[in-house]
Amino acid sequence: MPTQKGNLTKIVRDILRDEVRGDVNAALRKMAPGYSMTWVYQAKNGTLFPRADVDIKKELKNAYKIRGRKYDIKHVAEGKNVVFVELIESYPDSKTKKVFRTPLVLVLEMKGGKVARGRHYCDPRLSYMFLSKKQVGDIFKMKK
């Protein structure tokens, strides 16, 4: 069944809300069979382009257990079977409660109204800094 313009964006926003709530089962219902996510960077352990695609439910349970996560969506663009999202992901350090803030872009390929494959673009060095709201907010300010 073809999806109307904007429906794919709604699905993506809903799956991000599922992650914030830690609702793995709700997220899985929005993922196509064979779903995968690739991080377009080199991980701390040296792995180039780490990928989640083996035991998605287990991997989501690990990722979704982070409490206090927030997504500040800055821009969304939807094309035929693809959604691009520019956002700031924030979540507290479990020990210090200081907040990590990471600017990133998601490219989500859709199939049959579900997320089939994603790519997560960010600078992982920024992911381990405690950037302030002002620092990440300055990225989006227009210069005169």
Tell me the pLDDT of the chain averaged across its residues: 90
The reported pLDDT for the residue numbered 4 is 56
DSSP annotation of 1: -
Nearest-angstrom CA–CA distance, 109 and 23: 21
Span 50-68, pLDDT tens digits: 888 878 888 887 778 888 8
The reported pLDDT for the residue numbered 102 is 94
Instruction: Tokens for 85, please give them.
Output: 């999202």
The CATH number of residue 13's host domain is: 3.10.450.50
Indicate whether 1 belongs to any domain: no
Indicate whether 70 belongs to any domain: yes
Residue carrying the six token digits 């500040």: 72
Residues spanned by the domain of 22: 7-140
Instruction: Evaluate whether 29 touches 56 at the Cβ level (below 8 Å).
Output: no
Instruction: Tokens for 42, please give them.
Output: 């080199």
Count, in order, helices (H) and strands (E) of the chain.
5, 6
Taking 50 as the threshold, does the pLDDT of residue 1 lie above it? no
Indicate whether 74 belongs to any domain: yes
Instruction: Tokens for 11, please give them.
Output: 């699905």
* CA 70 to each of CA 17, 49, 80, 90, 137: distance values in angstroms, whole numbers, following the listed order: 9, 24, 27, 5, 15
Taking 70 as the threshold, does the pLDDT of residue 3 lie above it? no
Indicate whether 114 belongs to any domain: yes
Indicate whether 2 belongs to any domain: no
Indicate whether 32 belongs to any domain: yes
Instruction: Evaluate whether 14 touches 28 at the Cβ level (below 8 Å).
Output: no
Indicate whether 103 belongs to any domain: yes
Taking 80 as the threshold, does the pLDDT of residue 121 lie above it? yes
Number of domains into which the chain is organized: 1
